[in-house]
């Protein structure tokens, strides 16, 4: 039944019940005998009125809750932290229709924005060459079907490392030659299987990255092209952070680590993962994804969660060998994470174990921020929050996978916080501490070096 009709009927019943109840009271006070003869009438009227009022209140609560969720979704759209509205599992029909209308408008605008990408796809797909474009770190940002066929579809895809398929030394030598000469160069590149391929290598100069093309006679399927050229974007150089730094201009490393277990005094790190952000912008080209040799067997119950085995970390190197890379990408940023106190506790312990000078970085916890923002939400684990915010979950319980999911959640949190006048780093830290039950639980777990106010 439509919400307007339900509200109207509930309102009429409430008015009728209250009127009947008041009438009975008047009758009972004026005509004691009649009142005694129908003692059930007042109770019936009160029950009718209270039931109607409860129904009305429930409908209104559900209605305004749905409106709030829709408003939050629109706020995230306006901040360009997402292109989708949150799911409408329990929206009333009128609000669902409004949500669908907004969603249709956004989808049309999004499709219009993708038109240049489709033209690029058509042009590059028609070229009878296997083409791979990489970032300066070797991350694949564009690949056509011919290149996937030539180099291996499982090895070469958007977001993977080219060096899973090609010899790093050969590629880097060719790129350096192209850069020095200021033009594309021909090179003989070895695959990881030892095959020699003739290629044309061009350095992209100030755009950052490389184009590698392999001439081939024909393309069996030239319609397929996969790309994400945003991987060439790099974050601004971090500036000094203070508590007054705006969230919309905050340099961050969204971080996660996998461990041998949950006891920070006994367990150690087996994987590090992180992705750089600036405000709500993700920079997928700036990531860290490292396995770490814990120097001890990984318990089977931990392997069942994150999938990391003793064999996988046997030649991964201890924590101290990865610290320079982690420290470099952390520099000048705030560490953001889900239950980030757990990850910080393990970083602090690892630094102590290897004699590394440790300075606690500023942090923001997406768990605390979400719990403070939505105190009556049904759940605060990563999957539950991702579902409410319309974030797809991939690579769960891997360090980089969890970092990327958390980064998408954080990108949606920032505009919601700003709308509630939580605009700066200091305000966000204070706001997160409102989630007192979770802060207490983190303290009791021993994740803090000193008590947190």
pLDDT tens, the chain, 453 aa long: 344 455 555 555 555 555 555 555 555 555 555 445 455 555 555 565 566 666 666 666 676 677 777 777 777 776 665 666 666 666 677 777 777 777 777 776 666 665 556 666 666 666 778 899 998 888 888 888 888 888 988 788 887 888 888 888 899 999 999 999 999 999 999 998 889 999 999 999 888 899 999 987 544 444 467 777 777 788 999 889 999 999 999 999 999 999 999 999 999 999 999 999 999 999 988 899 899 999 999 999 999 999 899 998 998 999 999 999 999 999 999 999 999 999 999 999 999 999 999 999 999 999 999 999 999 888 999 999 998 888 888 767 788 889 999 999 999 999 999 989 999 999 999 999 999 999 999 999 888 875 454
Whether residue 92 is found in the same domain as residue 162? no
Distance CA 360, CA 344 (A): 8
Q: Which of 232, 265, 298 is the last residue of a domain?
A: 232
Is residue 160 packed enough to be buried (19+ CB in 10 Å), middle (13-18) or exposed (0-12)? Answer: middle
Do residue 107 and residue 161 come from a single domain? no
Which of 168, 202, 232 terminates a domain? The answer is 232
240 belongs to a structural domain: no
Q: Are residues 105 and 174 in the same domain?
A: no
Residues 304 and 367 in one domain: yes
Residue tagged 């970085």 (tokens): 361
Residue 237 lies in a domain: no
Total of domains in the chain = 3
Tell me the two tokens of residue 130: 């296997």
Does residue 217 form part of some domain? yes
Q: Within a domain: residue 238?
A: no
Asked if 281 and 212 sit in the same domain, the reply is no
Contact 286, 275 (CB under 8 A): yes
Regarding whether 402 and 325 lie in a shared domain, the answer is yes
Residue 404 placed within a domain: yes
Q: Which residues contact 298 (CB under 8 A, 6 or more apart)?
A: 260, 270, 308, 309, 310, 313
Please indicate, yes or no, if residue 120 is contained in any of the structural domains. Answer: no
CA distances to 261, 263, 294, 299, 349 from 266, rounded to whole Å, are 8, 5, 12, 12, 9
For 212, the domain range is 127-232
Note whether 103 and 198 are same-domain residues: no
146 vs 153: CA distance, rounded Å: 10
- Does residue 226 lie in a domain region? yes
For residue 129, what pLDDT is reported? 85
Angle, helix 425-432 to helix 366-373, in steps of 10 degrees: 70
b (16+ CB within 10 A) / e for 69-88: bbebbebbbebebbebbbeb
Final residue of a domain: which of 50, 83, 113?
113
Residue 139 · residue 219 · CB < 8 Å: no
The percent helix, strand, coil of the chain (3-state, each to 5) is 50, 15, 35
pLDDT for position 2: 45
Q: Does residue 328 belong to any structural domain of this protein?
A: yes
First to last CA, the chain: 50
Q: State the DSSP code for 256.
A: E
User: Does one domain contain both 255 and 375?
Assistant: yes
pLDDT value at residue 181: 94
> Phi and psi at residue 165, in whole multiples of 5°?
-120, -30
The CATH code of the domain that includes 213 is 3.30.450.20
What is the reported pLDDT for 14? 56
* Same structural domain, 84 and 167: no
Based on the fold, state whether residues 137 and 56 are members of the same structural domain: no
Q: Are residues 106 and 186 both part of a single domain? A: no
If asked whether residues 202 and 90 sit together in one domain, one would say no
């Amino acid at each position: 039944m439509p919400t307007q009709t339900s509200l109207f009927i509930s309102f009429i019943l409430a008015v009728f019940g209250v009127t009947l109840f008041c009438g009975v009271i008047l009758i009972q006070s004026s005509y004691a005998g009649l009142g005694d003869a129908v003692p059930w009438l007042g109770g019936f009227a009160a029950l009718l009125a209270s039931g109607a009022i409860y129904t009305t209140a429930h409908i209104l609560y559900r209605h305004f809750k749905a409106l709030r969720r829709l408003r939050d979704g629109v706020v995230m759209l306006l901040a360009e932290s997402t292109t989708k509205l949150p799911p409408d599992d329990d929206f009333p029909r009128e609000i669902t229709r409004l949500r669908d209308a907004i969603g249709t408008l956004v989808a049309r605008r999004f499709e219009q924005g993708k038109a240049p990408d489709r033209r690029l796809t058509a042009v590059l797909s028609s070229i009878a060459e296997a083409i791979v474009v990489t970032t300066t770190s070797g991350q694949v940002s564009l690949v056509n079907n011919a290149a996937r066929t030539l180099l291996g579809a499982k090895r070469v895809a958007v977001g993977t490392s080219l060096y899973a398929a090609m010899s790093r030394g050969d590629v880097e030598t060719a790129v350096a030659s192209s850069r020095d000469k200021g033009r594309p160069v021909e090179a003989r590149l070895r695959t990881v299987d030892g095959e020699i391929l003739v290629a044309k290598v061009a350095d992209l100069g100030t755009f950052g990255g490389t184009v590698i093309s392999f001439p081939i006679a024909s393309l069996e399927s030239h319609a397929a092209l996969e790309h994400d050229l945003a991987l060439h974007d790099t974050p601004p150089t971090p500036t000094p952070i203070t508590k007054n730094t705006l969230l919309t201009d905050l340099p961050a490393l969204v971080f996660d680590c996998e461990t041998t277990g949950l006891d920070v005094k006994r367990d150690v790190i087996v994987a590090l993962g992180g992705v750089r952000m600036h405000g709500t912008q993700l920079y997928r080209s700036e990531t860290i994804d490292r396995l770490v040799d814990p120097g001890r067997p990984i318990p089977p119950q931990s392997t069942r969660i994150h999938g990391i085995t003793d064999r996988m970390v046997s030649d991964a190197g201890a924590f101290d060998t990865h610290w320079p890379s982690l420290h470099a990408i952390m520099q000048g940023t705030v560490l953001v994470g889900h239950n980030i106190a757990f990850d910080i506790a393990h970083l602090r312990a690892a630094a102590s174990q290897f004699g590394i000078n440790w300075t606690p970085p500023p942090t923001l916890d997406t768990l605390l921020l979400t719990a403070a923002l939505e105190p009556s939400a049904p759940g605060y684990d990563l999957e539950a929050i991702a579902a409410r915010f319309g974030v797809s979950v991939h690579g769960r319980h891997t360090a980089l996978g969890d970092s990327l999911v958390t980064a998408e959640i954080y990108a949606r949190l920032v505009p919601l916080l700003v709308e509630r006048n939580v605009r700066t780093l200091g305000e966000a830290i204070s706001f997160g501490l409102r989630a007192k039950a979770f802060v207490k639980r983190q303290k009791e777990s021993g994740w803090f070096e000193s008590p947190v106010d």
